[in-house]
Amino acid sequence: MSSIGTGYDLSVTTFSPDGRVFQVEYAAKAVDNSGTVIGIKCKDGVVMGVEKLIASKMMLPGSNRRIHSVHRHAGMAVAGLAADGRQIVARAKAEATNYESTYGEPIPVKELTERVASYVHLCTLYWWLRPFGCGVILGGYDRDGPQLYMIEPSVATTSVFPHLLCALACTMTYVPDCFQLPRYFGAAIGKGKQAAKTEIEKLKLSEMTCREGVIEIAKIKRNRKSLAAYANYAHFESKKEEVSFEDLRSMGLSLS
């Protein structure tokens, strides 16, 4: 079979003769061509590192962020098209706010991930939509401890059909084990994901603290021009050889 998607890449609902959906593959390629995003789960929180590719020297420091706070206890790192990533972040923030206003408590990280995955997967079901050209690593800390998830444009990393969850939620009081999203000790997406995964596998994440995790991610990315790292308790930025910490207490986080 030909690997060229001519005639079969005009709609996300069109399969090629060998069973491929080219628009989803194009979206995955956009993620692979972006800066590397790393996430690791430590014993006391989650750390995320992002390689920010600076398109212009005229940009103000801190602009074009790839790491966002979704709620007081959760954050999200984006790889791929920045505009698509902002749309997913906005949806995640809306879901977190709606859940808290309805139930009076912060949204569980697993529930937040399932809702975001449903939203991303929705754009692969209808011909008038296109897949999001970005992947996200979502992490947070709730009553079940630190958790780390990854959502790709195809949502292939999930063991669930997210569009079914919306219908099942109306008739079920719990989600069975077969619909559980996979958790990660470490995850990486973007241009340098393979090299990053190799380095992550060498770490003893179950014994590592967030402070140590920030340093380890900085080591992995030390040859990059710009890096931003977000821990459940810390936000870390490095540009060239300068390192600084930002206080995120306004988001309900602290460095302690």
Report which of 196, 242, 247 is spatially closest to residue 39, judged by C-alpha positions.
196
Question: How open is the CA angle 39-45-46, to the nearest 5 degrees?
Answer: 10
6 is catalytic: no
Residue 23, Cα to own-chain centre: how many angstroms? Answer: 20
State the residue for tokens 């996300």.
12
State the residue for tokens 């074009």.
64
Report which of 230, 195, 192, 190 is spatially closest to residue 213, judged by C-alpha positions.
230
Query: Active site residue: 13, 14, 36, 209, which one?
Result: 36
For 122, 194, 197, 199, the CA distances from 107, given in Å and listed in that order, are 21, 32, 29, 32
- Classify each residue of 115-129 as buried b or exposed e, where b means 16 or more C-beta atoms within 10 Å of its C-beta: bbbbbbbbbbeeeee
What gap in Å lies between CA 225 and CA 249, rounded to an integer?
A: 27
State the residue for tokens 């077969």.
178
- What are φ and ψ of residue 126, in 5° steps? -125, 140
The torsion region of residue 250 among left (phi > 0), alpha (psi -120 to 50) and beta comes to alpha
Give the residue numbers marked as catalytic.
36
